[in-house]
Structure 1
Amino acid sequence: MLDYSLVFTLLFSAVLVLGVITRFYLTSRQIRHVARHRDNVPAAFAATIALPSHQKAADYTIAKARLGMLETAFGTALLLGWTLLGGLDALNQALLASFLANYGSLLPQLALLAAFGVISGLLDLPFTLYSTFRLEERFGFNKMTLKLWLADLVKSTLVGAVIGLPIVTLILWLMGSAGSLWWLWAWAVWMGFNLLALVLFPTVIAPLFNKFKPLDDEALKARVTALMQRCGFAAKGLFVMDGSKRSAHANAYFTGFGAAKRVVFYDTLLKQLNPGEVDAVLAHELGHFKHKHIIKRIVSMFAMSLVGFALLGWLSSQVWFYTGLGVQPNLAGANDALALLLFLLVVPLFSFFISPVFAQFSRKHEFEADAYAISQTDGKDLQSALLKLYQDNASTLTPDPLFVKFYYSHPPASERLGRITPLVESTAP
């Protein structure tokens, strides 16, 4: 008789090893490729990007890649520790044996999820601290103090608990009480929560971490308002966010959903770009709405999460799913929290290999948004804005092509500007 538990253990192990090898191979390629081109600015950028800036971007990219390799190795060891080496099983058994087990089935399950989250968060802290206060500091990007970092940690933990615990509790209750189609009800709850979050984030959650003030540059406000009217776009307001208190990186984004949409500019962006360039960056973001990229992403999220919940609904009833990952299911109690945690641990291993497909769609959307921006603003402003952002954010001009296919949601500078240049020339008077 076929031992499904052993088969799943072997499959899990094979995918884990293959994934680690692939990640290390891709990152090694990226490091070698960037280092090989470190001392020469690509010809297309020689007139606009100074060699020291190019070298800084190369060094920053390599430093982040090396840290990423350490995180991959640590994450792999941690995953093995939680699964096949018995970490999650031991934690579950310890909680079941404690007094919490006397308070019904939901409380120990919530305790398991909370304990797992706290332990995982604590184990990730060294990498977060190093990235913020050593790596980002080294390259002049970090503006956070330890006090602000701690305040963010406390706030994000509290927000996560206030928002996450009720949702998780409801999903666990549905898993235990809604019958064989619980996963369909849980999916509906999860989607409703995500849509609600899109509405609440700009006005309730984001202000807990950053200050937002109305854009007070009247000339720029007039330009931006005219652009949005020309594009048929309405927003609740134009805001400037104090991103500089945490990082020197610059950005602009739309947030919210429906009538709650807002346009948010980082203060660092407004310092780095002139009004025409700000117009072009905003037009690019409007292009995403014009091409319905946001709606497409939401629909894709709906579809993928539906498949995910359906798969979880099936796996949670299979004993080999638990035992194949080193966990003994509870014989006299619920296993819903265990199933949820194991699913969240395992799915990224398999989804990694289809990530190039999603990255390709994302890059395609960026090209379409660029084309729309050029049709609504001066394409040369978009070119100069992107060059400034690539330079100020220390984005390498010479990434490895295969690494790009797996990891880049935005096109690299050479490919992106290479597409933009003919469009700009075709629209020139």
Structure 2
Amino acid sequence: MTDDSLFAQLSLGMTIAFAVALVAGLLLKFWLASRQIRHVAQHRGAVPALFADRISLQAHQKAADYTLAQTRFGLLELAWGAVVTLVWTLLGGLSWLNHLLLGVMQPGLAQQVALLGAFAAAGFVIDLPFSLYKTFVLEQRFGFNKVTPALWLQDALKSILIGVVLGAPLATLVLWMMGATGTFWWLWTWGVWMGFNLLMLLLYPTLIAPWFNKFQPLDNAELKDRVTRLMARCGFTSKGFYVMDGSRRSAHANAYFTGFGASKRVVFYDTLLAQLTPDEVDAVLAHELGHFKHRHIIKRIVSMFALSLLGFALLGWLSSQTWFYTGLGVIPNLRGANDALALILFMMVLPLFSTFVSPLFAQLSRKHEFEADAYAMAQTSGADLSSALLKLYQDNASTLTPDPVYVKFYYSHPPATERLGRMQTPFANA
């Protein structure tokens, strides 16, 4: 077999593998979505017996309608995303963009950075109609959206600015390392990428998040004393307790324990504090502490380190294979670097194949949620946790009747029937 023949076979194999993954993943996701739509619609007419005395039929039907609207909209996004992926790859969009830039710039690092920037800008524009519809139509229809057009534009400009200030130097460094650090560039680049992610864990709570939301110290003395005692009892400290103006953008409620090392802080949405009793707030915070107690955050970081190392190693190999580019509809540069092309193609291809292993990560995440719930029930009242979670399910219009197979693929948190069903404290005692 000649080299040309082998190259042609490898290139065709890449094309076939890509096409099969794209179509198979699309069919799988459409099948799962159709199951979810059918299952939720079939159970829309009655509240599950477990929640009949706590959730009204009106609230149950709102959650069902919200889920149906989200899932149907998701089908449109899936179909459009598949078309965009095909246009960028096999239909020659990325190759055209690369050669367009080469027509006005010399090959080199600057052209590579420009290609990444142009691809990101095009992606933003392509996704813009979907983002606007989701915010100002879908979320608005169900009473969740609080964002004004002016605030949306302000957030978008801030995000772009942060992306340029942080992303452009990182992209430039990565592209430089790909070309300048030899065969094992992927190992050094992986180290830089991991360092950047750890740095963001430290800086995001105090430097980036305040750009988008106001964080006020918790001024409820009684509640502050309660959560301080809870954290002391659990062996935790933080840099403070804050209330975030989540109601400025959405009616959804949440709470989280953010940061890393000395920058850890507890953040409550103002919408959460408006709905939960102090005992319920304690229970929700205990759940978040449970994640730290079981080292879920550390385990996820280590897993991210390991998986990203494998990903960078695979990218290191693929980026040196010409058939990788041609098999995906891209003509590589013959007299210059192809590092930006390799990064973009890898970012588009990898999610297609990771679709089929996503249930494993979803299952692990649900397992962690059950462990955090168990920890919270050991530190606070199980009845309070049940009551708080049910309020959050209702507040966020989370359906009580999702399709079981859909849950296994997509749900990072257990559905209400499983989660609250494991809490043995009867609701009547809440």
Which range, TM-score by smaller chain? Answer: over 0.9
1:37 aligns to 2:40 (yes or no): no
User: Can you list the C-alpha shifts for 1:197-227, whole angstroms capped at 9, x where unaligned?
Assistant: 0000011000000000000000000000000
Q: What corresponds to 1:24 in structure 2?
A: 30
How far residue 255 of structure 1 moved from its aligned partner, in angstroms, is 1.1
Aligned residues: 421
Q: Deviations over 1:93-117 (max 9, x none)?
A: 100111x21xx51111111001111
For the pair 1:208 / 2:214, whether they are aligned, the reply is no
Counterpart amino acid of residue 71 in structure 1: E
- Does residue 275 (structure 1) correspond to residue 271 (structure 2)? The answer is no
User: Are 1:90 and 2:96 matched, yes or no?
Assistant: yes
CA–CA distance in structure 2, aligned partners of residues 166 and 120 of structure 1: 19
CA offset digits 1:16-70 (Å, max 9, x no partner)? 1000000000001000000000011001010100000000000000000000000
Give distance in 1, aligned partners of 2:347 and 2:180.
21
Q: 3-state DSSP class of the match of 2:266?
A: strand
Is 1:307 the counterpart of 2:307? The answer is no
Select the residue among 233, 250, 259 that pairs with 1:256.
259
SS at match of 2:328: coil
SS in 1 for 2:191: helix
Look up the match of 1:113.
116
**Within 5 Å, which residues of 2 pair with 1:310-325?**
310-325=313-328
**Secondary structure of the corresponding residue to residue 265 of structure 1:** strand
Whole-angstrom distance in 2 between the partners of 1:91 and 1:420: 55
* Aligned-partner residue type, residue 378 of structure 1: S
Q: How does 1:381-400 map to 2 (within 5 A)?
A: 381-400=384-403
- C-alpha separation in 2, matches of 1:240 and 1:327: 49
CA distance in 1, matches of 2:133, 2:275: 27
Q: Which aligned runs of 4 or more in structure 1 are off by greater than 3 angstroms? A: none
Deviations 1:252-299 (A, max 9, x none): 001110010000000000001000000000000000000000000000
Partner residue in 2 for 1:63: 69
Cα separation, 1, equivalents of 2:76 and 2:310:
32
Partners of 2:202 and 2:20 in 1: how far apart? Answer: 42
Match of 2:246 in 1: 243
| 2:273 aligned partner, one-letter code | L
Q: Give 2:12's match in structure 1, choosing from 6, 9, 23.
A: 6
- In the TM superposition, residue 358 of structure 1 has moved relative to its aligned partner by 0.1
Provide the rounded CA distance (Å) in 1 between the counterparts of 2:423 and 2:168. 46
In structure 1, the partner of 2:404 is 401
* Residue of structure 1 in register with 2:334 after alignment: 331
Supply the AA of the counterpart residue of 2:420: L
d(CA) in 2 for partners of 1:420 and 1:329? 57
CA distance in 1, matches of 2:396, 2:291: 22
Whole-angstrom CA distance in 1 between matches of 2:363 and 2:423: 18
Could you report, residue by residue, the CA deviation over 1:103-133 in whole angstroms, capped at 9, with x for unpaired residues? Answer: x511111110011111110010000000000
Deviates more, 1:266-275 or 1:104-113: 104-113
Q: Please tell me the residue identity of whatever aligns with 1:88.
A: L
How far does residue 420 in structure 1 lie from its aligned partner after superposition? 1.3
Question: How far did residue 159 of structure 1 move?
Answer: 0.3
Matched with 1:46 is 52
Q: Write the mapping of 1:135-284 to structure 2, written as runs, cut at 5 A.
A: 135-284=138-287
Amino acid at match of 2:415: P
Separation (CA, whole Å) in 1 of partners of 2:13 and 2:312:
23
Match of 1:233, SS? coil
The aligned amino acid for 2:52 is A
Secondary structure of the corresponding residue to residue 257 of structure 2: strand
Matched, 1:15 2:24: no
Secondary structure at 1:179 match in 2: coil
Write the deviation string for residues 348-396 of structure 1: whole angstroms up to 9, x where unpaired. Answer: 0000100000000000000000000000001100000011000010000
What amino acid is the match of 1:282?
L
Matched, 1:373 2:376: yes
What is the rounded CA distance, in whole Å, between the counterparts of 2:257 and 2:327 in structure 1?
A: 44
Query: Which amino acid is 1:108 matched to?
Result: Q
**Equivalent AA in structure 2 for residue 393 of structure 1:** N
Give, in whole Å, the separation in 2 of the partners of 1:302 and 1:371: 28
Report sequence identity in percent: 69
SS in 1 for 2:422: helix
Give the letter for the 1:394 counterpart: A
Cα RMSD over matched residues? 0.8
Q: What secondary structure sits across from 2:54 in the alignment?
A: coil
- Letter of the 2:80 counterpart: F
Aligned residue type for 1:187 = W
Report SS of the residue matched to 2:140: helix
- Trace 1:66-77 onto structure 2 (pairs within 5 A): 66-77=72-83
Structure 2: distance between partners of 1:361 and 1:125: 32
